[in-house]
Amino acid sequence: MNAKKSDKLATGMIYGLVGIVVAILVALLGYILYNGVPDINWHFLTSEAQSFSAGGGVRDQLFNSLYLLVLALIISFPIALGAGIYLSEYAKDNWITDIIRTSIEVLSSLPSVVVGLFGYLLLVIQLNLGFSILAGAIALTFFNLPLLTRNIEESLRSVPDLQREAGTSLGLSGWKTITKIILPMALPGILTGLILCSGRIFGEAAALIYTAGQSAPSVDYGNWNLFTETSFLNPMRPAETLAVHIWKVNTESVTPDSSVISSASSAVLIIVILIFNLGARYLGNKLFKKMTAAK
């Protein structure tokens, strides 16, 4: 076989494989959207879930998912940023760093059920947080931290060393160089990673079932005092998320329209995650352009 022929064959094979991946993705997404989108309407998005009768919505679950996401990011982003900066800029190549890296890798491959059960034992039982948004957010932090740290470290590393030398040679301190020169250049990558992590958190169920709980008590969306019981912002209340809702509706629901609710909720979930993903690309590109190209 000559080079040209084998090249053609290899190219064809690669196209074929890519085609299979794309086909599976399109089929999955298409199936979920096709089944769910027709049942999404304003009423579905803005009314409470029903336990026994038909016609329930996902208002509280949708809000809970978003609220948990925000809380989880508020907790995990600063930690991940610090750890990422440390690993990429300060850590020496020695056994301590190796241990940290390995732990992060192990943590990132931990099944989320394990994270959930660990969160249950530690946060819900031991620390007495009960099934609560706070417990859920902390469990999600465990779940999210390794990937986010990795992402931030990689983004910082991808900034050429020449930039660090430029800063240093102008008499800037290491910290100034990192915060004012390296970090801005890494920002598009960090942002993209952050939003992709958000998608992962948003779709997560297993880590939340035993931490944030499976019930969505009625809350008052007009009560902004997060220290009162009925406030929608109260972090100590249990909060069923959209992903947990889907799981619950499918396993133990007795509402007559459970299949409709499940497919519509799945579609909502997928759409939000798609928005995150597209948003990540758009924002990342835009930021990068803004920094590199002429204004």
Could you list the residues that contact other proteins (CB under 8 A)? 160, 162-163, 165-173, 176, 180-181, 184-185, 291-295
In 3D space, the residue among 213, 247, 246, 239 whose CA is nearest the CA of residue 120 turns out to be 213
Say how far apart CA 41 and CA 265 lie, in whole Å: 11
To other proteins, the closest distance from the beta carbon of 153 in angstroms equals 19
To other proteins, the closest distance from the beta carbon of 88 in angstroms equals 14
To other proteins, the closest distance from the beta carbon of 81 in angstroms equals 19
Q: 25, exposed or middle or buried, with CB in 10 Å at 0-12, 13-18, 19+? A: exposed
Note whether 246 and 262 are within 8 A (CB).
Answer: yes
Shorter beta-carbon distance to other proteins: residue 21 or 293: 293
Shorter beta-carbon distance to other proteins: residue 43 or 286: 286
Note whether 248 and 214 are within 8 A (CB).
Answer: yes
Shorter beta-carbon distance to other proteins: residue 8 or 180: 180
| 211 residue type, one letter | T
Note whether 221 and 230 are within 8 A (CB).
Answer: no
Shorter beta-carbon distance to other proteins: residue 273 or 287: 287
Shorter beta-carbon distance to other proteins: residue 59 or 176: 176
Number of other CB atoms surrounding residue 233 within 10 Å:
16
Shorter beta-carbon distance to other proteins: residue 162 or 254: 162
To other proteins, the closest distance from the beta carbon of 166 in angstroms equals 4
To other proteins, the closest distance from the beta carbon of 295 in angstroms equals 6
Say how far apart CA 76 and CA 143 lie, in whole Å: 10
Q: Where are the beta strands (DSSP E) in the chain?
A: none
CA dihedral 33, 39, 210, 235 (to 10 degrees): 110
Shorter beta-carbon distance to other proteins: residue 186 or 219: 186
To other proteins, the closest distance from the beta carbon of 281 in angstroms equals 20
Q: Output b/e per residue, 116-147; b: 16+ Cβ within 10 A.
A: bbbbbebbbeeeebebbbbbbbbbbbbbbbbb
To other proteins, the closest distance from the beta carbon of 183 in angstroms equals 11
To other proteins, the closest distance from the beta carbon of 169 in angstroms equals 4
Report how far apart, in Å, the C-alpha atoms of 247 and of each of 35, 97, 113 are.
Answer: 17, 39, 13
Shorter beta-carbon distance to other proteins: residue 75 or 91: 91
75: tokens are: 């907790």
